[in-house]
Amino acid sequence: MDLTLTPSTEDYLKAIYEISQEKRVVRIKDLADKLKVKMSSVANAVKQLANKELIVHEHYGYIELTDKGFEVGKSLYERHLVLYKFLTQILQVEPGIASKDACSIEHYLHKETVERIVKLLDFISTAPNSTPQWMIKFKKFLETGVSECRYAKTLDRLEVGTKAKIKSIRLESTIKKRLMDMGVIKGETIKLTKKAPLGDPIEIEVKGYKLSLRKKDAKQIEIEEV
């Protein structure tokens, strides 16, 4: 049995799945209303899906998904949700536009591409904070046109003899507290005074005191050069 679907029949099958999750039965009129198409168009698409044994439909009767139809319809629906989430949450596209664009592109993306988008969303969801800083900055850039990416520099990359202001400290609480007790706090100006031959450790000066830091800890301190 050839289960190859056109973009149009994919839309119909996905719509049948969606309606079946909301109502006990699916009717031709339900599909016409949801997809905003003529009843004759729905009837033709339903016939094609029935021929592929993805649905069961008796003349003037209700539409029912077969086991295979349910599986394919669910997959199409989940693919749409992934693309919608990517467009709205990552690209910050307005929901109404994102919904239409997800419908437009979902038929033409390779399965591997969709899987990569899923993995990207899963990766972002594991961020320590609810919303990663780069997403916050990207949203601000979209709204104001001001990019903060040029400030995304960490202490380990500071040149010897250069001063910088601390923007954030992303170290574990015990190390962070120890550094803060020594004056390494947000907004404080520091100076890189020395680096070991291999760049580890480094020496900084803050409030007249000199402190030694491991390179891996310096990487967790975001700075802005002054």
SS (H, E, C) 72-104: HHHHHHHHHHHHHHHHHHHCCCCHHHHHHHHHH
Query: Does 149 have pLDDT greater than 70?
Result: no
Residue 41 lies in a domain: yes
SS3 121: helix
Helix (H, G, I), strand (E, B) or coil at 10: helix
Residue 119 lies in a domain: no
pLDDT-wise least confident of 7-11, 30-34, 135-139, 159-163: 135-139
Q: Report the share of the chain in percent with pLDDT over 70.
A: 95
Among residues 49, 75, 109, the one where a domain terminates is 109
Please state the rounded mean pLDDT for residues 195-208: 87
Does 91 share its domain with 36? yes
113-130 burial, b at 16+ Cβ within 10 Å, e below that, comes to: ebeebbeeeeeeeeeeee
The CATH code of the domain that includes 176 is 2.30.30.90
What's the total number of domains in the chain?
2
Residue 152 pLDDT: 55
In this prediction, what percent of the chain has a pLDDT beyond 90?
49
Residue 195 clears pLDDT 80, i.e. is over it: yes
Range of the domain at 94: 1-109
Residue 162, both tokens: 């250069």
- pLDDT at position 150: 56
Cis peptide before 132 (omega within 30 of 0): no
What are the residues facing 135 on neighbouring strands?
A: none
* Residues 171 and 96 placed together within one structural domain of the fold: no
Return the number of other C-beta atoms located less than 10 Å from residue 149's C-beta.
10
Who has greater pLDDT, 148 or 223?
A: 223
pLDDT tens sequence across 72-107: 999 999 999 999 999 999 999 999 999 999 999 999
Least confident of 21-30, 48-57, 129-138, 211-220: 129-138
Kindly state whether residue 187 falls inside one of the protein's structural domains.
Answer: yes
The confidence score (pLDDT) of residue 224 equals 84
Encoded tokens for 129? 């904070």
pLDDT at 179 over 70: yes
Long-range contacts of residues 31-34, Cβ cutoff 8 Å, at least 24 apart:
31/63
Task: Identify the residue whose tokens are 């803060």.
Answer: 180
Contact 206, 164 (CB under 8 A): no
Residue 99 neighbours by CB under 8 Å, 6+ apart? 84
The pLDDT assigned to 144 comes to 81
Mean pLDDT of the chain: 88
For the segment 169-181, the average pLDDT, to the nearest whole number, is 84
**Tokens, residue 58:** 């008796």
Write out pLDDT tens, residues 1-51: 677 899 999 999 999 999 999 998 999 999 999 999 999 999 999 999 999
User: Are residues 98 and 159 located together in one domain of the fold?
Assistant: no
